[in-house]
A and B are shown apart, each in its own frame.
Chain A
């Protein structure tokens, strides 16, 4: 099995460990990831706040490059939920709206790129759940994680607005993956509630309250697992300030899902770059 791979900007910087653990996990699964050559930013939450056309053209550029690569590989795997939504939105909306497709292609003309919508955009979690699944995973499980209780955190943009692989209101797709490692699932109501996203930078007090509610909901869990670099950063980057403002200890280990699954598969903490996480993850090293 092979996938085209779009890491996105965060995975080269603040979420380096998400990139490394994703690559390590797929290597252990025997699946090849082929990085899109010369990929560029998807526009994040910035392009849509400045220019409508740019918010389609920036992701479309990456889709068009992907189309010029290996014909036999149809799916683009995206670990970042914000990148995933931008790429998916560009694909879905240009498919529905020929006029938009024409304008996007005009924008890419000087670079000689053209979008034909020949590839599918898939979130990392979608691939893990739908293509590999608990059964595919269980063959590779080496170290039982049965001492851990794990809170699955989905955030928003891998679920909404495009409901592709899970219930966008009450997601459960991570449960079988976590159970396959031997760990138990922490049942909670915050799994699909927003972490504040880019509000953390512009209105930090507000976003930190949003994160405080999520961390409170995870009391009793040994770790929260995430599938988005923005969620990860918001949940783990401010735990000192949040605990101080809430007058209670809200510190909680936050792991990327590939890190947790990787550990269960016997991949070393070093290969999964767990020491790069910002939360207190020493129990997992």
Chain B
């Protein structure tokens, strides 16, 4: 009597495992990249990825089949990150935007030709510097810049992932890109590409 009943339980669990692997594992690369950009180092990214997949498997029965699984996995990852890794919150409304405006006034004074500025500012940058600039952004801004500019998600998909209105996504994207420019400008100054004041 024991083996058939246990077999039923095993078969049900194995079916769950097979479904989970078929649907969730193909998104590992996308999730890993997001974890890496968000945490800034490979060890934390690996831990975050593992935690995300374990939680996703544990709550697999709660996932509504046929809905956007990538959005569901991203939300688990985002919440895990917030609970475990985000110790210092950089609140968007505490960023000094006057500093950003001053940046624009400075670069306008230096050059009126944006193509010249592109070459000066961005032509000498290496991948590491851009990655560091991205990692220095506040979490909420970095998330939307990564999802839009690297992952290529639409505003609607980003709004669903981060659970905020599309208007907020637009605003964070705009401000995030401006902050990024300011960071890259600082790198360029440190490299001597742009003369310091």
A, B co-complexed: no
> Which residues of B are at the interface with A, using a C-beta cutoff of 8 A?
none
Residue numbers of A with Cβ under 8 A of B are none
